[in-house]
């Protein structure tokens, strides 16, 4: 047997080992990533009898992300999308900022950031609910746990409920929000609203230690109408609400006046179902009825997704669940994913098979289609270029299967691929909406590739399968004319789901970024050309850029890209990636905040602007702020590393600027300020005086704190905020006319000790 084949089999066996084995989820996830790497290197010939062709791309690649602890579409029972006012919306991670509300622009085939940020914490996931008048986002800190080595829930990590009103195309956070659901982290958390207007939430909470043992408990909480305040979280008042540490819970509002809570229980091989009537005591045992939804050896795993129809007079509840039969049987025909349907009229569940062990499917979600009376099931399974099954749980592609809601019989096989990255078979964690869909909404699902760090989605009318077609290349350029040096921003507007972009700028410059920037250094007429491609073919589009001779004046300085990162544990160095849009001759400005007060050695070619601004320089507390600039050269690396004299937590980032004078980048002195009182909610820097028209004011701030939440001075643009370790943030503001700038004040969400700096960049002449 070839070495690669043996390694793949060994890793696959370890990952699909029974959940009671001494292996936590983090270990399984690591081994899954090892297997994915093996597959990428070895190719798919391990599983196919003939050499596999490159996989077709399905769906649309969306925004990139970084700095988030978990795949941003993950959370098996959770919904990240909703339909409102003729559009699809989503709660999505924005690199360097936090979780934002996005709207799907169907005509442009892209998700558009509304700029409305809710949670800034990078270690959270969320469940969303649109009730027709308000948007609710429940955001909780995530603690992934496993059966072999449980990870207890962490106190002091609040789960927050955000409520937004909607008017004229905009969401507005309601006064008094967010409110706190619970003060503990959890692996998952879901919400729904009952007929009294109360918001319900459920999660499981692990407690204990290796000496005394671990317990996992199903918790519930209920709010005042509209989520304005919450009761004390309570244990679900039913017999034995204590499953294995890896199990999770979910809930749904159904029928005319019911709440149902479902949870997996690997210890008893049961998926449990507890129900109550609105208006009864939430904490009274007599208010709840409990029964098994499915029960038997290998019938339970920690994958749940619940849906119901508000207009369904029968009150049916549909649940997609995963069994563990692949752990107990080598038969590829045993059920792996099940659809359970609860019919209140009979008080019983029926079940049908969505996928078998041989399909290698995992992480199911369902959507109910009222117009066609269908249930749509979505799940992860290996890429279409892989015919075999290494183990259930490997990333690959998102597949869809459909069946009648009245008689849910699904066809054989994995289903129809709807999201697939043809060049990276690592799509996983599909998510969608709690709401029913129809021909006016279409159907949208979202997933993520946590290897390439990109969102993906599928958007199509109901009843049609995605068929790849060659894209139609198109783009805009701004400006299209001007004096040298002329920075031009190119924005891809291609249709037809391109997956790769190739640019030639007419002066020898090239790029493979989707929407790059490029600087023309000499006068001339240039033809910029974009070739947009996908698995079905490619097309090209061109535009003319006219550059006139420079008149000796000063041009514009523009920000063309950012990168940010942080470390919540002490490390001996700081590594920041070069912004992807940065080109030769651009000037990079980096700002770093470290815990305590280490010395820092900068990479070669970086010039210090702030070389250790100390915020409370004691041996046990404080922070230190550093700022540098650097001119990008042809041989620059993809990342830069600062060495720390002593290991420390840190946060930092880089902004790339174009149109800066390379010989003398700074147009003003650097000024700084420190407030180590730990009682201030703002810090003000004095005025600086610029020497050149068209200078770019730049500045940054750092905290002796790991809690983000910074507002830059009025009119300034925040470029990034490192939201872990020690907080750092950078912002800028163009100044048309040379002279005094006036003071600049940064404000904070909570009292902090802080330090800040500001300067100006000189435009190229």
Q: What's the token pair of residue 292?
A: 């098994």
The pLDDT-based confidence of 634 (bands split at 50, 70, 90) is confident
One domain for residues 534 and 572 = no
Instruction: Report how far residue 483's alpha carbon sits from residue 478's, in angstroms, rounded to the nearest whole number.
Output: 13
The reply to whether 244 and 388 lie within a common domain is: yes
pLDDT band at 705 (very low <50, low <70, confident <90, very high): confident
* Half-sphere CA count of 543, side-chain side, radius 13 A: 18
Asked whether residue 207 is domain-assigned, the answer is: yes
Confidence of residue 499 (pLDDT cuts 50, 70, 90): confident
Q: Which of 224-233, 481-490, 529-538 is predicted with the least confidence, judged by mean pLDDT? A: 481-490
Residue 72 lies in a domain: yes
Tokens representing residue 402 in the block: 């459909």
In a domain, residue 465? The reply is: no
Q: Looking at per-residue confidence, does 415 or 548 come out higher? A: 415
* Final residue of a structural domain among 411, 432, 460: 460
Question: What is the DSSP track for 638-672?
Answer: SEEEEEEEEEEEEEEEEEEEESB-SS--BSS--EE
Residue 390 shares a structural domain with residue 522: no
Q: Which has the higher per-residue pLDDT, 203 or 346? A: 203
- Is there a contact between 638 and 713 (Cβ–Cβ < 8 Å)? no
Q: What is the pLDDT of residues 350-408, one digit of tens each?
A: 999 999 888 899 999 999 998 899 999 999 999 988 776 766 778 999 999 999 998 89
Pairing of strands 710-711, 695-703: unpaired
For the chain, what is the largest distance between any 2 Cα atoms, rounded to a whole number of angstroms? 84
Per the structure block, which two tokens stand in for 161? 């409920």
237 shares a domain with 204: yes
Q: What is the pLDDT of residue 706?
A: 84
What is the CB neighbour count within 10 angstroms for residue 165? 13
Beta-carbon contacts of residue 67 (< 8 Å; ≥ 6 apart): 93, 95, 96, 122, 564, 565, 566, 722, 723, 724
Is residue 233, in this structure, part of any structural domain at all? yes
504: domain range? 475-548
Report the alpha-carbon angle 223-119-80, nearest 5. Answer: 75
CATH number of the domain to which 493 belongs: 2.60.40.10
Answer yes or no: do 359 and 481 share one domain. no
Q: Which of 4-18, 446-460, 487-501, 611-625 has the lowest mean pLDDT?
A: 4-18
- Residue at 526 is within a domain: yes
Band (pLDDT 50/70/90 cuts) for residue 300 is confident
Residue at 171 is within a domain: no
**What pLDDT is attached to residue 327?**
83
Q: Is there a single domain that holds both residue 676 and residue 728? A: yes
Kindly give, in sequence order, each residue whose CB lies less than 8 Å from that of residue 313, ignoring residues fewer than 6 positions away.
Answer: none
Q: pLDDT by residue (tens digit) across 68-108?
A: 999 999 999 999 999 999 999 999 999 999 999 999 999 99
Helices 3-15 & 25-42 angle (0-180, nearest 10)? 160
- One domain, residues 663 and 693: yes
Mean pLDDT lowest among 40-54, 162-176, 598-612: 40-54
- Name the percent of the chain in helix, strand, coil, to the closest 5: 5, 50, 40
Domain boundary (503, 530, 548) is at: 548
Question: For 166-190, what is the mean pLDDT?
Answer: 95
Does one domain contain both 541 and 399? Answer: no
Residues 389 and 517 in one domain: no
Same domain, 573 and 425: no
Q: Examine the domain organization and report whether 614 and 541 are in the same domain.
A: no
Higher pLDDT, 306 or 201: 201
Q: Which two tokens stand for residue 579?
A: 């912004």
Domain count, the chain: 4
Among the three residues 460, 491, 508, which one is the final residue of a domain in this structure?
Answer: 460
Average pLDDT (22-51) is: 40
Same domain, 370 and 340: yes
What is the average pLDDT value for the chain, to the nearest integer?
Answer: 87
Residue 89 domain-assigned (yes or no):
no
Residue 482 domain-assigned (yes or no): yes
Task: Give pLDDT, residue 256.
Answer: 82
Band of pLDDT at residue 465, cut at 50, 70 and 90: very low
């Amino acid at each position: 047997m070839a070495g690669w084949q043996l390694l793949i089999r060994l890793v696959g066996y370890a990952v699909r080992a029974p959940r009671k084995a001494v292996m936590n989820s983090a270990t399984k996830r690591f081994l899954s990533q090892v297997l994915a790497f093996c597959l990428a290197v070895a190719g798919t010939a391990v599983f196919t009898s003939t050499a596999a062709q490159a996989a077709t791309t399905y769906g649309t690649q969306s925004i990139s992300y970084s700095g988030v602890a978990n795949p941003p579409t993950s959370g098996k029972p959770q919904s990240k999308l909703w339909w409102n006012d003729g559009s699809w919306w989503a709660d999505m991670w924005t690199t360097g900022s936090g979780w934002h509300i996005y709207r799907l622009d169907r005509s442009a085939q892209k998700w558009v950031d509304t700029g409305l940020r809710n949670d800034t914490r990078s270690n959270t996931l969320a469940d969303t609910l649109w009730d027709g008048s308000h948007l609710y986002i429940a955001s909780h800190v995530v603690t992934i746990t496993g059966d072999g080595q449980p990870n207890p829930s962490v106190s002091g990590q609040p789960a927050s409920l955000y409520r937004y009103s909607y008017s004229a195309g905009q969401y507005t956070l309601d006064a008094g929000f967010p409110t706190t659901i619970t003060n503990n982290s959890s692996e998952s958390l879901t919400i729904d609203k009952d007929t009294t207007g109360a918001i319900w939430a459920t999660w499981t909470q692990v407690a204990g230690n290796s000496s005394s043992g671990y317990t996992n408990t199903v918790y519930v909480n209920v709010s005042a109408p509209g989520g304005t305040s919450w009761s004390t979280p309570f244990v679900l008042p039913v017999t034995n609400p204590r499953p294995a540490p890896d199990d999770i819970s979910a809930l749904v509002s159904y029928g005319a006046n019911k709440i149902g809570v479902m949870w997996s229980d690997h210890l008893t091989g049961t998926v449990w179902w507890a129900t109550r009537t609105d208006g009864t005591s939430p904490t009274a045992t007599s208010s709840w009825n409990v029964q098994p939804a499915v029960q038997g050896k290998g019938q339970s795993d920690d994958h749940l997704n619940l849906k119901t129809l508000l207009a369904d007079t029968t009150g049916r509840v549909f649940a997609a669940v995963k069994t563990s039969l692949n752990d107990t049987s080598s038969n590829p025909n045993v059920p792996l994913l099940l659809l359970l349907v609860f019919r209140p009229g009979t008080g019983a569940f029926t079940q049908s098979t969505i996928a078998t062990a041989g399909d290698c499917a995992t992480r199911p979600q369902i959507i109910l289609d009222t117009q066609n009376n269908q249930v749509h099931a979505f799940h992860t399974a290996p890429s279409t270029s892989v015919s075999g099954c290494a183990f259930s749980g490997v990333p690959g592609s998102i597949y869809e299967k459909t069946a009648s809601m009245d008689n849910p019989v699904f066809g054989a096989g994995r289903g129809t691929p709807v999201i697939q990255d043809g060049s990276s078979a690592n799509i996983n964690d599909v998510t969608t909406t709690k709401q029913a869909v129809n021909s006016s909404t279409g159907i949208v699902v979202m997933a993520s590739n946590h290897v390439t760090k990109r969102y993906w989605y599928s958007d199509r009318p109901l009843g049609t399968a995605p068929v790849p077609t060659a894209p139609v290349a198109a783009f805009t350029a701004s400006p299209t004319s001007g004096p040298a040096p002329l920075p031009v921003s190119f924005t891809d507007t291609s249709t037809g789901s391109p997956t790769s972009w190739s640019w030639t700028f007419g002066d020898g410059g090239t790029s493979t970024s989707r929407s790059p920037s490029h600087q023309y250094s000499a006068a001339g007429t240039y033809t910029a050309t974009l070739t947009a491609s996908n698995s079905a073919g490619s097309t090209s589009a061109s535009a003319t850029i006219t550059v006139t001779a420079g008149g000796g004046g000063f041009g514009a300085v523009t920000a063309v890209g950012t990168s940010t990162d942080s470390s919540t544990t002490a490390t001996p160095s700081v590594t920041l990636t070069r912004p992807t849009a940065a080109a030769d001759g651009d000037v990079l400005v980096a700002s770093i905040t470290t815990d305590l007060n280490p010395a820092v050695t900068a990479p070669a070619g970086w010039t210090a602007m702030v070389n250790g601004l100390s915020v409370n320089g004691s041996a046990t507390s404080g922070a230190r702020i550093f700022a540098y600039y650097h001119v990008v050269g042809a041989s620059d690396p993809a990342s830069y590393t600062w060495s720390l004299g002593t290991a420390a937590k840190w946060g930092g980032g880089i902004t790339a600027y174009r149109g800066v004078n390379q010989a003398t980048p700074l147009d003003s002195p650097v000024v700084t300020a420190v407030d180590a009182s730990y009682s201030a909610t703002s810090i003000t820097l004095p005025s600086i005086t610029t020497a050149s028209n068209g200078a770019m004011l730049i500045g940054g701030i750092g905290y002796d704190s790991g809690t983000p939440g910074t507002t830059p001075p009025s009119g300034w643009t925040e470029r990034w905020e490192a939201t872990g370790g020690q907080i750092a943030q950078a912002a800028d503001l163009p100044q048309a006319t040379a002279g005094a700038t006036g003071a600049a004040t940064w404000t904070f969400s909570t009292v902090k000790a802080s330090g800040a700096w500001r300067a100006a960049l000189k435009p190229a002449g």
